[in-house]
Amino acid sequence: MSVGSPVLVRWTADELVGRLDEVLAVYAAAMGYPPDLVSARRGFITAHARRAGFRAVAALDENDAVLGFGYGYLSTAGQWWHDQVRGAIRRGERRRWLTDAYELVELHVLPEAQGGGLGTRLLRGLLDGAPGRVVLLSTPEVADESSRAWRLYRAHGFVDVVRRMRFPGDDRPFAILGRPLPLPPT
């Protein structure tokens, strides 16, 4: 696969769902997840695409193949992730982080396309004009914050909201990171 000069496109909910097999392949490759776990994401992503404030971006190569994607929506009470995070955030910080928050749900780049700034382009493309006063995301903890994901988020001003959070059904610790919106211009 050639990663040449990818084109960044904004997708509607229907466009994301229409290319769900490709999106899930990128997700699996980027996260190193087994097929059964990836398959279970199909219904979640389809449901997420119908939420208020939904936005999606994709990076496509010259053959229209998906090299990376990201999506998110407004985070509100009653949504599983929002409610899990609400329970982990200190009471005095809940209003700051959960009122008018945009949830960056997924942001992934194929391993062979990483390291050339595509994650930054996807992040900026997704958050440019995103609804909300703040943006929140969860990412697996790494001991020294040296992963590409951590470097990307730190470079864009994301700060710790909750560290070492454990979501039901996943043994790994996660960090909840956030920052005000909008992102500053480059």
Active site amino acids? 153
CA distance 47 to 7: 26
Residue whose C-alpha is closest to residue 152's, from 108, 110, 103: 108
Residue whose C-alpha is closest to residue 118's, from 52, 30, 38, 47: 30
In the sheet with 55-60, reading across from the earlier edge strand, the strands are 7-11, 55-60, 66-75, 101-109, 134-140, 173-180, 159-166
Task: Please report the sign of the dihedral spanned by the C-alpha atoms of residue 46, residue 48, residue 52, residue 55.
Answer: negative
